[in-house]
Chain A
Amino acid sequence: NAGVMQNPRHLVRRRGQEARLRCSPMKGHSHVYWYRQLPEEGLKFMVYLQKENIIDESGMPKERFSAEFPKEGPSILRIQQVVRGDSAAYFCASKVSSSYEQYFGPGTRLTVT
Chain B
Amino acid sequence: GENVEQHPSTLSVQEGDSAVIKCTYSDSASNYFPWYKQELGKRPQLIIDIRSNVGEKKDQRIAVTLNKTAKHFSLHITETQPEDSAVYFCAASRYGNEKLTFGTGTRLTIIP
Q: Please choose the segment from B12-20, B77-85, B97-105 that sits at the chain A interface, where 4 or more of its residues have CB less than 8 A away.
A: B97-105
The answer to whether A104 and B97 have CB atoms under 8 Å apart is no
Assess the B101–A101 pair: CB atoms within 8 A: no
The total of interchain contacts (Cβ-Cβ below 8 angstroms) comes to 57
> Which of A13-21, A39-47, A68-76, A79-87 makes up part of the contact surface?
A39-47
Inter-chain contact B89/A42, CB cutoff 8 Å:
yes
Is B100 in contact with A33, judged by CB distance below 8 angstroms? yes
Task: State whether B45 touches A59 (Cβ < 8 A).
Answer: no
Q: List 17 A-B contacts (CB under 8 A).
A: A35-B102, A41-B104, A42-B89, A43-B44, A43-B89, A43-B102, A44-B102, A45-B100, A45-B101, A59-B99, A95-B98, A100-B34, A100-B51, A100-B93, A104-B43, A104-B45, A106-B43
Q: In the complex, what distance in Å separates the CA atom of A37 from the CA atom of B19?
A: 25
Specify which chain A residues have a CB less than 8 angstroms from the CB of B98 in the assembled complex: 31, 33, 48, 95, 100, 102
A residues sitting closer than 8 Å to B (CB atoms) are: 31, 33, 35, 41-45, 48, 55-56, 58-59, 91, 93, 95, 100-107
> By the criterion CB–CB under 8 Å, are A100 and B49 in contact?
yes
Return the 10 tightest CB-CB contacts between A and B, nearest first: A104-B43, A100-B32, A42-B102, A45-B99, A43-B102, A42-B104, A104-B44, A106-B43, A42-B105, A48-B99
Q: Does more than half of chain A's interface fall in helix, strand or loop, or is it mixed?
A: strand
Q: Mark B82-112, 1 if CB is under 8 A from A, else 0.
A: 0000000100010101111111110000000
The reply to whether B99 and A33 contact each other, CB–CB distance below 8 Å, is: yes
Given contacts A42-B89, A42-B105, contact A101 B46 (CB under 8 A): yes
**B61 beta carbon closer than 8 Å to chain A:** no
Taken together as a complex, chains A and B put the C-alpha atoms of A56 and B2 apart, in Å, by 14
A59 to B93, alpha carbons, bound, how many Å? 14
The docked-state distance in angstroms from the alpha carbon of A44 to that of B100 is: 8
